[in-house]
Amino acid sequence: MGLSETIVAAIIGALATMATAIVQLVRNRAPSDGRPKPKKSRMRSALATIALMIVGGYAWSALRAVSAKEELTATMQAEFSRQFAEFAAKQGQAGAATNGVTMAARTAGAGVAEALAHLPPCHISAQSADAGPVACNESMAQPVTLCAAVPAGAPTAKVRVQARVPKSESPWLERDAGAPTLGSLHFGAATTEYPVSPELRSVCLDVSNWSVEDTLAVRLSVEYGVASAPKSELTAAAPTASL
């Protein structure tokens, strides 16, 4: 499990506080000279117990947050690998059908590539009842990068983002072009692209779910145009002999 420096520091601090609280409890429960313990000593024991419970809960919450993020990342990587394999298989089948000549992905026709993911609710540490309504913010939300594989030489025509609650009959809601949010979903400022192979490139968008209750299904659709054929180099023609 890869832990960030912030989480490691939090765990170290939590363990130190827990150790201090345990030592305090042991000292306060040590046998005395037979005299009853003063009220102040009993109060310190109670405070140490409460501190031990709070810090232990915080450490457990931090570890659970890291574990949930790693599980989500692994799921996204598996989904992207599956989509990449399906796309490559389709390209291979299309090439085999053209007299045994494989067509390069950069000369493929227009089409649509998609990526789909389920984003869990925003994870929030326990708060007291007096803290007011529980709300997610940028530091709590876990962003996920959705990527769709398109032919390397094909221009991106349009990027669409849709969302809905999984396993429901509600229609897909679509984000307005360039809008930073769609309900409780927040998006990156722009898409990013990077090469995957000589034939493919990825079109990616950062998405995060700020809802504290609902898991949301998000679909990224990338429409791409026809790739332009590579320009052939001009060569000088060999002179012909005249009889």
Percent of the chain predicted with pLDDT > 70: 58
Q: What is the pLDDT of residue 163?
A: 94
Tokens of 5: 């420096």
User: Mapping DSSP to helix (H, G, I), strand (E, B) and coil, where does residue 27 land?
Assistant: helix
Collapse the DSSP code of 157 into the 3-class scheme (helix H, G, I; strand E, B; otherwise coil) and give the result.
strand
Q: Which two tokens stand for residue 140?
A: 């709590």
**Has residue 198 got a pLDDT over 60?**
yes
Are the beta carbons of 96 and 163 closer than 8 angstroms?
A: no
pTM of the model: 0.48
pLDDT at 74: 75
Tell me: pLDDT of 50 over 60: yes
Q: How confident is the model at residue 12 (pLDDT cuts 50, 70, 90)?
A: confident
What's the pLDDT tens digit per position in 147-167?
Answer: 999 998 899 999 999 999 988
Per DSSP, 212 falls in state S
H or E element: which one contains 84? helix 39-96
Q: What is the mean pLDDT of residues 179-203?
A: 92
Residues in the chain: 243
Residue 100 has pLDDT above 50, yes or no: no
Q: What are phi and psi of 163, to 5 degrees?
A: -150, 155
pLDDT for 30 beyond 60: no
Please give the single-letter amino acid code of residue 214: D
Token pair recorded at residue 111: 């089409």
